Amino acid sequence: MQTTWQAILGWYDRHGRHDLPWRNTDDIYHIYLSEIMLQQTQVSRVREHFYPLFLEHFPTIGALAQATEEEVLSRWSGLGYYNRARNLHACARLAGDGLPTGYKELLGLPGIGDYTARAICAFGHNQPISVIDTNIARVLKRYFALPESTPKALLEHADKLLNTSRPRDHNLALMDIGSMVCLPKNPLCSLCPLSQSCMGIDAPETYTENKKSGYESRELYYGVMMSKGRIALVRTTGSMYKGMLTLPPLEQTDREPIASFRHSYTKYHLTVNLYEIDTLSGDDEVIWADGREMDDYPLSTLTKKALRLIYTPKGNHELQ
Ligand code: SF4
């Protein structure tokens, strides 16, 4: 295994993404934050926008613990999957001086599953533990020629390959090989440090992940009620967006919308229709917000798009 390890680390030293900010820190909170953000968001968006902005407001786990949930959700705005922010906040409040260092203890914290616990142990503490994300899984399937593989089988193979003397760099290297070389389509085997011993090199695309299911189209309906330049937003109580503010949702209607726009979210292609309304449900907590100051409120990307449309001079809606 020595030669394979050397090839992997030699490649990583020369070509790895060493400039990612969370790879240049030993602050466990920063590493943990990056892992949570990266779960559903592209590296470039996390790196250029969300990660630095969040750390500007909450530079330490203590600062995050002291913030209100509304402040945390506001700063998470645009990242989606808001339970991630709530769990991050809950962990910060439980962590005291810092997160635990052991895999099992980490698993006991809200929102920290097997992947995140492993990532914190390997990337934060250089512990000899395998990490398997989508990219690494693809590399392992091809390297070991595994057409069908359960998570358990993948982990056993990852452990076989694990370099226990430089586990942090080894895992990061496999991640980069998966995202830069062992691509889902047309992998660049001639550039791959694993090419000498890869068992799937003759037919790499045989060993790929399951195809994603297609997109689903949906229509959504929201009410727009204005007063003196402010707009009525309601507090969401459903689990995924709990605590976020949104335009008042409406039942499906045949009325002509004052504006419509398209929005894609995970596997959904949404058509969002906006309607003028003059009453609000008495059951909702209503916040009269200045829609031009969007950073002051916990809003999803969809709601921000709607507010931009409503508050744009060319929009269909007249401010009152
Ligand atoms: S040799 Fe090709 S198939 Fe094998 S791990 Fe490298 S890029 Fe993937």
CA angle 176, 163, 184 (to 5 degrees): 30
- Identify whether the C-beta of residue 76 lies closer than 8 Å to the C-beta of residue 55: no
End-to-end CA separation in angstroms for the chain:
71
Instruction: Tally the domains of the chain.
Output: 2
Residue 238's domain comprises 216-311
Cα(56) to centroid(ligand 1), Å = 39
Ligand 1 lined by 195 (C-beta under 6 Å): yes
Quick check: is 138 in a domain? yes
Q: Give helix 69-76 / helix 83-95 axis angle, nearest 10°.
A: 130
| Same domain flag for 107 and 84 | yes
User: Which domain CATH number covers 202?
Assistant: 1.10.340.30
Same domain assignment for residues 152 and 11: yes
56 catalytically annotated: no
Q: Which of 35, 71, 205, 276 is catalytic?
A: 35
| pTM, full prediction | 0.73
Percent of the chain with pLDDT over 70: 94
C-beta of 7 in contact with ligand 1 (< 6 A):
no
pLDDT in tens, 150-173: 889 999 999 999 999 999 999 999
pLDDT score at 315: 47
In a domain, 160, yes or no: yes
- Which pLDDT tens digit goes with each residue over 237-268? 876 778 889 999 998 877 888 888 888 877 78
- Residues with Cβ within 8 Å of 42's Cβ and at least 6 positions away in sequence, in order, are none
Last residue of some domain: 206, 227, 250? 206
From 143, 191, 196, give the residue whose CB has the most ligand 1 atoms within 8 Å, as the site to mutate. Answer: 143
